[in-house]
Every structure is written in C-alpha cells, then in structure tokens.
Amino acid sequence: MAEEGKVQREFQAEVRKVLHILTHSLYSNREIFLRELISNASDALDKLRFRVNKGEQPRLPELPLEIRITLDKEAKTLTIADTGLGMTAEELAENLGTIAKSGSEQFLADLAGAQTSGEDGAVADAANIIGRFGVGFYSVFMIADKVEVTSRPAFADEGVAAHVWTSDGLGTFTVEESTGEKPERGTIIKAYLKTDAGEYADKYRIEEIIRTHSAFIPFPIFVDGDQANTQAAIWREPKSAVSQEQYNNFYKALTYDRTDPLDEQHISVDVPVQFTALLYTPATESEIYAGKRDHWGLDLYARRVLIQHDNKELLPEYLSFLKGVVDTEDLPLNISRETLQENVILQKINQVITKQTLGYLEKMAGEDADKYNTFWHLHGKILKLGYTDYINRDRVAGLLRFNSSALPEAKDLTSLQGYMDRAPADQKTFWFATAPNREAAKMNPHMEIFRKKGIEVLFLFEPVDEFVVEGIGTYKEWTFKSIESVKPDELDKFADTESAGEAVSQLSDEDKGAFEELLKRMKEILGDKVTEVRVSQRLADSPALLVSPDGAMSSSMEKLFKIMQKDDSIPVKVLEVNRENPLLRNMLAIFKADNTDPALESMTRALFDSCLLMDGYLKDPQSFALQLNGLLTNASAWYKEVKKI
Ligand code: ADP
Ligand code: MG
C-alpha cells in the first residue's frame, strides 16, 4: 500500500486462470474485446434507464445515454466511456476482481472443449464462450497491458466520489479514489495498448469492429465524435423495410451465433394484446441440451426499453429453440422483474406466439419438406415435448417426424399423416419400435411379422419418444402401439406380402405333439427364469424371443421404470420359439431320439441367454461366453467329422 487509500488486491484464483488463457492462447480473435466492453457499457446504460423509468432520480439526469470511444494513436490508448450506472469502490473490486465460481468453472470447461475441437472452430467458439460466462471484461487484457477503470455511481445514495481501478492483468489490481480524469456519471475505461495491438487505436479499424459485432446496440456509440452504429430496433420496422441481411445481422448480434438463422418470424399483433416480435429459428442446434438448461427465453422490451433478457414467460419450453425479442406497449416500464412471472399480458403473448409458431411450422412443413426436415433434425427433440400442451396437442402431433421401416435411410423422416397414407385400408394403429438406432430396430425379432405383412413401423430412437406417443394418445382416431404388444391374431387380416423364403416342411401331427413336449422340457430346464415357453406366431427368421406376459408395457418403457426404481432384476417373461426355424427343428429331432439328451439343456440355456443379450438384460457374460465356447467346440468337432477333414 504505497499511497493513502490505495489498496492492492489479488485477483481471485479463477480470474487469474481466465486471464492467463485470454492473454496466452486466444490471439487471433482479439477484436472481440471491444464487443465485450461495449456490451458492458450498454448493460450499464440499460440498468440506469430501467431505474429512471421506475421513478428514481440519477445524477445529472440531463446527460444523454451514450457510449463514447476516443483513440490516441500517439499515446497508444483506447478509451471507452459510458454515462450508465457506474460502480462504487466496492463494486469495482467485486465486479472486476472475481467471477462467480460456477461461471468460471463452466467457462474453463467449455473453453477446453472448444480448443480441442479444431483450429478455426476453436477460435470462434472461444469468442462466443467469453461473452456468455460473465468473464467478458477480462478480455481487454488480450490487447492491453494496463487498464484503468474510473467510475462514478449514478445514484447519490451510493456516493458521488469517483474511484479508479488499475491493473496490468497479471496478479493484482488496485482501487483508490480518482485524482485524474473522471466521468461525470458512469464509467471510463482506458486501455493502454500492447505494442502489437496498435491497430486498436485506428478509427477505421474500430468502426469496422463495431459494425461487425455491435451494430445493434440500442445506444449511440461515437468513435472520436462520429456515430458508428445504426441502433435500429428493427423489430419495430415494417417487414418491407428490413432486408434479409439486416435480419441475419441482428440475429448474429443478438445470439453471438455465427451462422445465419434458418429463418425468422416477424410478428406484429394488436389483439388481444399489442406487441411486436422478431423470432428466429437458429440453424444451429440448441444449447439447452449442452448443459445450459437455463439459456433460453426471449428478450423482453417495453417500448424499446429492455426489461429482461431470456424471459421464460413468453414461450412454452417446447418452443425454447426460438431466439429473439418481444416488444410490447402494454407493459408498464417500471414493472419489477419479480412481478413479471405471473403477468397476464405475458401469458397472452405466450399464447399468441405459440399459435403463431405452430402455424409457421405447419406452413414450413407443407411448403418445404426439406427445410422442415432440417428444422426437425435441429430442434425436433425440443418441439416434441409439446405433447404436454393439452390445448395444442393435435397440432404438435401433426408436426412430429419419425424415421420408419418404410424409409430408405436413417435421416429420412415421415409425418404421422404420411404413415397413414401408406398404410393398408384396415389399419388404425401406428405401430412403433423403440431402439437406439435404425440397425438395432431392424434386427429386432418383433419386426419379423411386420416385415412379412408389409406393415410400416415407426422407429423411436430416444427414450422420451415413448412418452411422447403415449402422451399424444390418439391422432385422427388412430392409436399408438408398440410392436411388442401385438396380439397373435391381430395382424391376420393383413395378407403376407413377403414370399416366405424357402418353404419349410409342415410338421406331422405326431411331431406337433412331440414339439409341445419339447417346449415342456425347455420350460423345465429354464425353471423360474420364464413364465412359459410357447410357439411364436410373430417370428419369420429368428429362432426365439422374449415377450412380456401381459404385453402391457413395451420393454424399453419397462427398462426405464426399472432404472427409476433402481431395480436391477431380470424380468421374467415368456419365451416364444419359432417352430419353423432349423435350430428348433434340430432340437426336436434330438428330443425325439433321447428326451434326456444333455445337449438339449445347453442349447436351451444358450438360446435363452442370447434372447436376454438382445434385450440388454444379460448380466453374466462370462458364463454365456463359456457356454458359447462349449457349443463352438462341439460344432467344430462335428464339422470336422462331417467334412472328413
Ligand atoms: P458480465 O458482463 O457478463 O457480467 P463482465 O466480465 O463483462 O461480465 O463484467 C463484469 C461486471 O463488471 C459486470 O457484470 C458489471 O457489474 C461490471 N461492469 C463492467 N463494465 C461496466 C460498466 N461499463 N459499467 C458498470 N458496470 C460494469
Ligand atoms: Mg459483459
């Protein structure tokens, strides 16, 4: 502590880490420091305006709300001043010396992820990540080796003295009362540029950066006296006055997304509530599945004044892929953030936006199926949660898309209507199979009867899908059913379409009787592991499969419940066997020759275990492998004999 009142402080450890990364590894995208400083200035102006609108009286109320940048090429400095909220000495130390722990950890983790994801991508991502995690201010140390932040709070009860925060961005900073140039209200940040950062004292360069990153900041930004931003609230303009490029630029400024959006809805509504909205559908996947569950909502404005970022009352969660702004005349400016939650006006806006967006998606699906499929691959997993919206459930159902057995590729999609149009006349059921992917779905033995009858099956790849179809219940009087719960005679009315391959000889009545005895023997061998062993009507190729005794719940749903109840027992099911399959025919011959032959036992067990394996319930792979090896050893010995090797 050299001078009186000057306190030297250490940066929090997290801040030091962040600073280290910013100054050492993010060289090529340094210009984003300016976006961060401008966004902080804009936030400070927003906060001031918000409190003024609520009736508070700031220092020097006549001062305009603006941002002024001044450049000095000789001295190599860049100064940015705002007339916003300002900070007290304590706030300077707190806001510019620490970061919320969770924020910084997430930042470092995300940054590490971004940096391993490749050259150009890494830089772009890092730039996005910085802004999102409340570490934006520190990016100034990418271009400066010394920074002074002088600030005077806007509201008198927080004191009128200006304090200056100074640091070289290494380990420490100081805060003391300012004796030099000070703002009348708000904050002045002076950056002493590093020797290799001289370009940031160049007016054209700075104007260019503002056009790229900060064009839509809602306060004027002056660079050496000339205004550099357009500050248009484009959502307030008539559609005809806004070009696609303006729409896209606004989107990028709003979201930090570098990719143009898929498209936008520009809405202006007068009844039952007045508002305008500009809602974008991003062409990139939503972040809320990347651990940022809270990162959604719309920016809420009242008469062009920002009331709240990420407001979640304006949309149902299943439309949370939308990004954009809502501006209404019907909300008082002095509304507190707390009372926004149950606000009737916001609820009405929410209803209008919901209807409007469903209509917009229906139109897209009708007019441009490819675009809608792209949309679905990006945002379908959010939209499908709309099955919980009782009022709009039918419309959500109409927007659902599935992969199915009738489509050539995994990325192809069908609507429920498309499925209905392809189905035979008598069908009134949407048959579905749950599986982690298309290959697994196609190999599911339950599929065989459907393949034989030429009946299309919808593939449900995500665990939530089954809840979705259960929740939808019926669509145009059709119901949803898992292929596992098909009743033996349920598909009899549909003719076989697939030729049954090689004809298999019919069993004589005597052999049918012997087969029944074999089934009893197999049940004896398996004991309590199965409720029953019976002949299957649903298999064409596979030798056997397990089915639920009551058929009520699909096996994937059952699995989910077992996980939820932490129940890891193997469910006891019915073993259905394919009497036409060569393995079963061979077993029948062995059984007829000697019904106590031990080979029957090992074959039955192996067959059962392979069914468990298919269903994901095999818990004892060692004994399964032993069994398999035993059978292989025998098989190879017999093979040698048959081949006379
Ligand atoms: P974030 O903006 O995400 O909170 P930053 O690192 O950019 O994170 O800024 C940290 C904090 O410093 C801000 O939240 C704000 O409280 C304060 N701050 C930064 N710049 C200003 C400014 N120009 N005026 C007032 N406060 C500011
Ligand atoms: Mg910031």
In the prediction, which pLDDT does 609 show? 93
Atom of ligand 1 nearest to the CA of 85: 25
Q: Which of 127-136, 183-192, 333-342, 546-555 has the lowest mean pLDDT?
A: 127-136
* % residues pLDDT > 90 (the chain): 61
Strand order across the beta sheet in which 172-177 lies:
7-10, 172-177, 163-167, 144-152, 186-193, 77-82, 67-72, 221-223, 226-227
The alpha helices in 302-414, defined as continuous H runs, are 344-367, 369-383, 393-399
The alpha helices in 428-508, defined as continuous H runs, are 438-443, 447-453, 463-472
**Which residue CA neighbors atom 21 of ligand 1 most closely?**
40
Q: Distance from the CA of 24 to the center of ligand 1, in angstroms?
A: 22
User: What does the pLDDT average to over 616-622?
Assistant: 85
Cis, bond preceding 272 (omega within 30 deg of 0): yes
* Separation in Å, CA 144 to CA 18, 22, 189, 198: 15, 11, 11, 10
574, pLDDT greater than 70? yes
DSSP lists the bridge partners of residue 334 as none
Q: Which of 315-329, 463-477, 482-496 has the lowest mean pLDDT?
A: 482-496
In one-letter notation, the amino acid at residue 135 is V
518, pLDDT greater than 70? yes
What residues are in contact with ligand 1 under a 6 Å CB criterion?
36, 40-41, 44, 82, 84-85, 87, 95-96, 134-137, 187
Q: Enumerate domains of the chain plus CATH numbers.
A: 7-227 (3.30.565.10), 234-365 (3.30.230.80), 509-548+568-643 (1.20.120.790)
119, pLDDT greater than 50? no
Residue to substitute in 32, 33, 34, 40 for testing ligand 1 pocket (most ligand atoms within 8 angstroms of CB)? 40
Ligand nearest to the CA of 135: 1
User: What does the pLDDT average to over 341-366?
Assistant: 94
131, pLDDT greater than 70? no
**Which residue CA neighbors atom 1 of ligand 1 most closely?**
134
276, pLDDT greater than 70? yes
| 549 contact partners, CB below 8 Å, separation of at least 6 | 531, 532, 572, 573, 574
**Which residue CA neighbors atom 10 of ligand 1 most closely?**
95
Q: Give the DSSP H/E element, type plus range, for residue 7.
A: strand 7-10
289 falls in which pLDDT band (50, 70, 90)? low
169 falls in which pLDDT band (50, 70, 90)? very high
Q: Which of 108-117, 388-397, 426-435, 547-556 has the lowest mean pLDDT?
A: 108-117
Atom of ligand 1 nearest to the CA of 82: 23
User: Looking at per-residue confidence, does 62 or 107 come out higher?
Assistant: 62
Condensed to tens digits (0 to 9), the pLDDT of residues 228-260 reads: 987 678 898 889 989 999 999 889 878 878 899
428 falls in which pLDDT band (50, 70, 90)? very high
Atom of ligand 1 nearest to the CA of 84: 24
In one-letter notation, the amino acid at residue 178 is S
Q: Distance from the CA of 501 to the center of ligand 1, in angstroms?
A: 72
Q: Distance from the CA of 520 to the center of ligand 2, in angstroms?
A: 74
336, pLDDT greater than 90? no
Ligand nearest to the CA of 42: 1
Q: Which of 193-207, 302-316, 385-399, 409-423 has the lowest mean pLDDT?
A: 302-316
Q: Are β-strands 275-281 and 221-223 bridged in parallel, bridged antiparallel, or unpaired?
A: unpaired
| 281 contact partners, CB below 8 Å, separation of at least 6 | 261, 262, 263, 264, 265, 321, 322, 375, 379
440, pLDDT greater than 50? yes
Which among 418, 504, 503, 510 has a CA at the least distance from the CA of 456?
Answer: 418
Instruction: Work out the widest C-alpha separation in the chain, in whole angstroms.
Output: 109
107 falls in which pLDDT band (50, 70, 90)? low
Which among 462, 457, 463 has a CA at the least distance from the CA of 445?
Answer: 457
User: What does the pLDDT average to over 613-626?
Assistant: 86
Q: Which of 498-512, 542-556, 591-605 has the lowest mean pLDDT?
A: 498-512
How far apart CA 195 and CA 145 sit, in angstroms, is 9
Ligand nearest to the CA of 96: 1
**Which residue CA neighbors atom 18 of ligand 1 most closely?**
40
562, pLDDT greater than 50? yes
199, pLDDT greater than 90? yes
Rg of the chain in Å (alpha carbons): 34
383 falls in which pLDDT band (50, 70, 90)? very high
Q: Distance from the CA of 18 to the center of ligand 2, in angstroms?
A: 14
On average, the pLDDT of the chain sits at 88
* % residues pLDDT > 70 (the chain): 89
How far apart CA 585 and CA 572 sit, in angstroms, is 25
Using CA atoms of 284, 287, 290, 292 in order, give the dihedral in degrees to the nearest 10: 170
How far apart CA 142 and CA 302 sit, in angstroms, is 36
Q: Give the DSSP H/E element, type plus range, for residue 621.
A: helix 621-643
Ligand nearest to the CA of 138: 1
User: What does the pLDDT average to over 481-502?
Assistant: 81
Read off the pTM.
Answer: 0.70
372, pLDDT greater than 90? yes
294, pLDDT greater than 80? no
Question: Where is mean pLDDT largest: 13-22, 119-128, 444-453, 616-625?
Answer: 444-453
How far apart CA 54 and CA 626 sit, in angstroms, is 77
User: What does the pLDDT average to over 584-594?
Assistant: 95
* Separation in Å, CA 17 to CA 138, 170, 413, 590: 11, 10, 46, 73
In the prediction, which pLDDT does 5 show? 66
How far apart CA 319 and CA 358 sit, in angstroms, is 9
User: Looking at per-residue confidence, does 2 or 521 come out higher?
Assistant: 521
290, pLDDT greater than 60? no
223, pLDDT greater than 80? yes
304 falls in which pLDDT band (50, 70, 90)? confident
In the prediction, which pLDDT does 566 show? 84
555 falls in which pLDDT band (50, 70, 90)? confident
**Which residue CA neighbors atom 13 of ligand 1 most closely?**
95
Q: Which of 113-127, 231-245, 518-532, 611-625 has the lowest mean pLDDT?
A: 113-127
1 falls in which pLDDT band (50, 70, 90)? very low
User: Looking at per-residue confidence, does 624 or 429 come out higher?
Assistant: 429
